[in-house]
Structure formats: C-alpha cells, structure tokens
C-alpha cells in the first residue's frame, strides 16, 4: 500500500467528508479539505497534491467546472477522482471530457476509494525520470547528486532528501509535516531537527547560486523559487 499520499477532498456533505478524512488519515494520508468549489480550486492550484477527490455536486459550482479549471490553470497534471451519485454513462463521458481521471459512484466502499487513489497517484511516477530539472537546478535521484547551472554542489543525506521533495512539488510549497513524514516517517526527531537541516541546505544553495531560492512560507512550510538564472 502506498503511504504518505497528500490528498485534497472537495465535498460539501459534512458527514461523508468526515468519514472519508478519518479513514484516509488512518491509512497514513495527509488530507486537506474544502466544502465548496471555490476553495477547492484555490487549494488545488496553490499546493501540491497526489490526488484530488472531487464531488460532482457542490453548493457554489459544478464539480465539472472545478475539474476543467484545474486542468486549465494547474502547472502539473493532478490526478482527479470524481465522486458522484450520477451513474449514467453520459455523465461520466462529460466528466472524462472535462479532465477527470476516474469515477467512483456513491455509495462506495472506502477501501475501494483508497485503492483508486493509490492507482492514480502512481500514474505520474510510472514514467518519471530519475533526474528532476527546473531552471538551473537539477536533482539526480539515482546518482544522489544535485547541480546548479551544470555544476555539482554538496548536500547532506537529509538535505538531498529535502531538496528532492521540494523539486517534486515545484512550483508549490511543501508543508513541514509532509517533509517530516517524508524524511523520518512515523518517528520524527526532536522539533528543531528539520529547521537545522533546512538552514544547512539553504546555506549550501546560497553559496552555489548566490541568491536565495529556498523560501520559508509562513504557516505552510518551504518552497523553491527563482530557479532560472
């Protein structure tokens, strides 16, 4: 079972939402929640998610519209799982036409929900290169090397893991809790350890790039910016 998925749930039914969130968190997922389409779209376009679970019927707008807007404006291809009480073939055709990746008809088994989320989250990784490149920064996961403008620079083991996670999420920020889980799993160290590793990585990056590209985002986490020389 794939662990540590970051999931956005857009669902206006509070009872259903509570049930889904509780189940996913027990499975080790991190879940952000929006009760309407406007907030759901805002979150989808400003944070990194492995999967968006999107209800078709929302109080302020149709889920199809939210799906289409995510596809139109997102810088990455976010897998979208539509939840719907409509099981007509024509409704599914409309959803897939707007960019949905999968459909789940209510009522559904929560075990099937997470299996579908795991399958969707794996798709972008199936053909993912072992070298991540954005602007002048590149991270070679297999060789465990980082480069700026073609020049190698040193990182610690933890620093490289942080940099890798930030590059995967680019251009979106990564939360502190997500980094803690990514690096140390369910046994995080004392509270200042992450801050210390961020400081060391930032100094290494600044010494190489001659400017700040690793930013602290208040009340959220950390983000890479200004990667073009």
Whole-model pTM?
0.62
Question: What secondary structure letter does DSSP report for 228?
Answer: -
**CA separation for the pair 141, 137 (Å, rounded):** 13
Q: Which of 207, 140, 205 is nearest to 215 (CA)?
A: 205
- What ranges do the domains of the chain cover? 6-126, 131-224
**Cβ pair 211, 168 in contact under 8 A:** no
Domain formed by 6-126, architecture:
3-Layer(aba) Sandwich (3.40)
Predicted confidence at residue 81, as pLDDT, reads 95
> Bridge partners of 80?
52
Predicted confidence at residue 52, as pLDDT, reads 96
Predicted confidence at residue 2, as pLDDT, reads 52
Q: What is the DSSP string of 58-87?
A: -SSSBHHHHHHHHHHH-SS---EEEEES--
**Cβ pair 78, 52 in contact under 8 A:** yes
- For the chain, 229 residues long, give each residue's pLDDT as a single digit of tens: 455 789 999 999 999 999 999 999 999 999 999 999 999 999 998 888 999 999 998 999 989 999 999 988 876 778 999 998 876 677 777 788 888 889 988 889 999 999 999 989 887 665 556 788 889 999 988 788 899 998 999 999 899 999 998 998 888 888 888 888 778 876 777 778 899 999 999 999 999 999 999 999 988 899 999 898 6
Instruction: State which fold the 131-224 domain adopts.
Output: Arc Repressor Mutant, subunit A (1.10.10)
Predicted confidence at residue 129, as pLDDT, reads 61
**Cβ pair 10, 63 in contact under 8 A:** yes
């Amino acid at each position: 079972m794939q662990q540590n998925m970051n999931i956005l749930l857009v669902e206006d039914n509070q009872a259903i939402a509570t049930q889904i969130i509780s189940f996913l968190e027990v499975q080790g997922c991190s879940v952000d929640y929006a009760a309407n389409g406007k907030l759901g779209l805002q979150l989808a376009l400003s944070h990194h998610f492995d999967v968006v679970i999107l209800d078709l019927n929302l109080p302020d707008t149709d889920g199809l519209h939210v799906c289409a807007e995510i596809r139109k404006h997102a810088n990455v291809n976010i897998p979208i799982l539509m939840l719907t009480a409509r099981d007509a073939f024509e409704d599914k055709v409309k959803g897939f036409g707007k960019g949905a990746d999968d459909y789940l008809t209510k009522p559904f088994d929560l075990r099937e929900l997470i299996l579908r989320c795991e399958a969707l989250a794996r798709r972008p990784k199936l053909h993912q290169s072992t070298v991540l490149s954005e602007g002048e920064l590149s991270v070679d996961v297999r060789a465990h090397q980082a480069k700026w403008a073609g020049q190698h620079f040193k990182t610690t083991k933890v620093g490289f893991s942080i940099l890798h996670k930030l590059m995967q999420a680019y251009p979106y920020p990564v939360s502190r809790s997500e980094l803690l889980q990514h690096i140390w799993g369910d046994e995080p160290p004392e509270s200042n350890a992450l801050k210390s590793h961020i400081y060391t990585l930032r100094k290494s990056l600044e010494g190489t790039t001659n400017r700040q590209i690793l930013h602290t985002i208040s009340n959220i986490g950390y983000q890479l910016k200004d990667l073009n020389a």
